[in-house]
Amino acid sequence: VYDLPNHLDEKFDIVFTSYGTIGWLPDLDKWASVIDNHLKPGGQFIFAEFHPVVWMFDDDFTKIQYKYDKSDAIVETEIGTYTDGGETLSTECVSWNHSLSEVMTSLIKQGIEIVQFEEFDYSPYACFSHVEQVGEGKFRIKHLGDKIPMVYSLVGVMK
């Protein structure tokens, strides 16, 4: 992501970032700079992401294990993958939890005006432990119900 300006010199009407992207990035100012580099004036940045509250929990969603913000990298060893055939694969994963204020501030500093922001108490994917379907394309952690935000979205416009 950070290297994209070295390979692409084009601006677009829309830049879209989706679920599970920023957790792999330690520096959101650099991320927002890449968005700025590729978004036309008046263009829209559209973003949907898992809420940072979700990433505070342990895998079973029974206790708070991590900080709300990215002050420390989260280092975990995972067995298996979400693909077929990798059941015994062991991988060390490093990720960061970014607060909502960090996300928004990084975009605002690049001249992107936040024009819409929403939080949702469900996930569109059954990608966590102990989920139950509560509607079409809506999943919640069974024992937490609607008590935590799971996803957020925002739309920003380049000034």
pLDDT digits over 89-105, tens only? Answer: 888 989 999 999 999 99
In a domain, 73, yes or no: no
Q: What is the CATH number of the domain that holds 151?
A: 3.40.50.150
Q: What is residue 66's DSSP assignment? A: S
In a domain, 148, yes or no: yes
Q: What digits encode the pLDDT tens for the residues 47-75?
A: 999 999 999 999 999 999 999 986 789 88
pLDDT band of 85, cuts 50, 70, 90: confident
How many Å apart are CA 130 and CA 127, to the nearest integer? 9
Note down the domain range covering 128.
Answer: 4-61+98-158
In a domain, 131, yes or no: yes
Q: Is 85 exposed, middle or buried (0-12, 13-18, 19+ CB in 10 A)?
A: exposed
In a domain, 81, yes or no: no
In a domain, 105, yes or no: yes
Q: What are phi and psi of 30, to 5 degrees?
A: -65, -40
As for how many domains the chain has, the answer is 1
In a domain, 144, yes or no: yes
In a domain, 78, yes or no: no
How do strand 12-17 and strand 39-50 relate by DSSP bridges?
parallel
In a domain, 39, yes or no: yes
